Chains A and B, each alone.
Chain A
Amino acid sequence: MTEVKASMAGSVWKLVAAQGDQINEGDDVAILESMKMEIPIPSESSGTVKEIKVEEGDFVNEGDVIAIIE
């Protein structure tokens, strides 16, 4: 099990993956938006998306868990 964490503080602009999706390492899970910049948040491992911890529009801090991959 691995956690996908936010690499910067910002709001969740788009969720690209959904619970139950099969994803590969490097696939984007979410796109964060902060200070006029959009940053994709990729998964560091392949697997199934067990849980998405945030919703679109949520504010996350750097290091917050966005999703759990199994």
Chain B
Amino acid sequence: MFKKVLIANRGEIAARVIRTCKQMGIATVAVYSEADQHAPYVGLADESYLIGKPRVNESYLNIDKIVSVAKESGAEAIHPGYGLLSENTEFAKRIEKEGITFIGPSADVIGKMGDKIAARNEMKRAGVPIIPGTEQAVESAEKAKEWAASFGYPVMLKASAGGGGIGMQAVSNDEELEKAFEGNSKRAKAFFGNGSMFIEKLIENPRHIEIQVLADQHGNGVYLFERECSIQRRHQKVVEEAPSPVLSEDTRTRMGESAMKAVQALHYTNAGTIEFLVDDNENYYFLEMNTRLQVEHPVTEEITGIDLVEQQLRVANGEKLTFKQNDLTINGHAIEVRIYAEDPNTFYPSPGKLTKLDLPDGPGVRHELAVHSSSEITPFYDPMIAKLIVHAETRDEAIERMTQAIHQYEVEGIKSNVTMLKRIITHDKFKQGETKTTFIQDYYLPTLTNQ
């Protein structure tokens, strides 16, 4: 096993990786920016190095600097965490070139999965369901209608050069399509200088369900079931759970097998996640693959009893997986909530100084922390300051446990989303498993205007 590992990340994930390294007897190296000097993870590591100014491009994204710290400290491997450089092919290539092990898949696979079109094509080839759509621009409304007939309405029209929702419209019949095609094509031409349009099937009111995979360098791979991550604001997840409250055993197996097809086709190694959109009839469609550890990985660890960071280290070290698919079972139910430093009504960030952080304790309660009770939360990074995870025998018990824990969770000095989390967790629709991607809009935002 590696003697020393550098963690090219910050916050709760750096602390999380350090914890497992310590348990395995691996020395750790932390890197930090001027803004993170007093962050808990810096003190947890055996060695720490200042790598630059607060802004990420002057510190955590500075490949040269991180590589030079790895060499200076004698680290044999680098764990990239999530975000930052974790899915950067240049970084993965550079590290390997320097003779250091990158704890993740190959640079080639990271590159393929980072390109939306390449990823879609790879999945199609591997036999993973993708959202039916046109692969080339559709030149006329007439042609668009033919495509729509082949997928079935409703469909989504998308300007190929579009962004920020401009040039995008959902339509549910030929007449709407005809109007929308002309209008959006014109608008896209005016905004982006390119009026070409794509069309794909609209997945209505979907859930976001993802499959965790793990594969070694010897051709062995397993899936560690699913995480339901539908509850999101600003396209960022807020509440995640495992297993999904709705998935049938049959669909779970089919999704897991689809994920394994992707792993085999890509010759994927290390931990990864395949995200799917799932409709009311349990049809599922590939959304994207994340070639790294996910923020919400603890819920999978809680229900499988497997330490994913430990597995990442072992796989990167060339070891074989010591368990097979049949050895894995789902044990109970786990829920994670993300604690964000933000206004719970507008979702605007709220940096500042914490004056209090009082955490619930008890059986089945787990914390992942980026801060301590008097941390300064700077405006330079993501607003997530902590994660609260609970595990229990059943979903109802997990919700009960989370309800108690979140009501004891006290954050003062800044605004946080704790009040929002309380409302989500205790909402009848959450208890009923109505966890759709529209949950916040349909069930949380209305509670604000009823105050």
Interface residues of A (CB under 8 A from B): 7-11, 33-37, 39, 59, 62
Q: Known contacts A9-B351, A37-B349; can you find 15 more A-B pairs with CB under 8 A? A: A8-B346, A8-B348, A9-B352, A10-B349, A10-B379, A34-B348, A34-B351, A35-B349, A35-B351, A35-B381, A37-B234, A37-B348, A39-B348, A59-B379, A62-B350
Least distance between A42 CB and chain B CB atoms (Å): 14
When chains A and B are docked, how far (Å) is the Cα of A34 from the Cα of B383? 9
Q: CB of B368 within 8 A of chain A?
A: no
Query: Knowing A35-B381, A36-B382, A59-B379 touch, does A7 contact B351 (C-beta < 8 A)?
Result: no
> Which residues in window 361-410 of B have CB below 8 A to A?
379-383
Determine whether the beta carbon of A35 is less than 8 Å from that of B346: no
Q: CB of B282 within 8 A of chain A?
A: no
SS class, residues of chain B in contact with chain A: loop
Least distance between A32 CB and chain B CB atoms (Å): 9
Nearest opposing residue in chain A for B384, CB measure = A35
Interface residues of B (CB under 8 A from A): 234, 341-343, 346, 348-352, 379-383
Most buried by B among A7, A10, A33: A10
Determine whether the beta carbon of A34 is less than 8 Å from that of B346: no
List, in ascending order, chain A residues with CB within 8 A of B382's CB. 35-36
Least distance between B35 CB and chain A CB atoms (Å): 12
When chains A and B are docked, how far (Å) is the Cα of A33 from the Cα of B342? 14
Determine whether the beta carbon of A9 is less than 8 Å from that of B349: yes
When chains A and B are docked, how far (Å) is the Cα of A33 from the Cα of B341? 15
Determine whether the beta carbon of B352 is less than 8 Å from that of A8: no
Least distance between B414 CB and chain A CB atoms (Å): 9
- Nearest 10 pairs of A and B residues by beta carbon: A35-B349, A8-B348, A34-B379, A34-B349, A35-B383, A10-B379, A9-B351, A37-B349, A35-B379, A8-B349
Least distance between B267 CB and chain A CB atoms (Å): 33
Query: Knowing A34-B351, A35-B341, A35-B351 touch, does A7 contact B383 (C-beta < 8 A)?
Result: no
When chains A and B are docked, how far (Å) is the Cα of A65 from the Cα of B234? 27
Nearest opposing residue in chain B for A60, CB measure = B379
Determine whether the beta carbon of B348 is less than 8 Å from that of A11: no
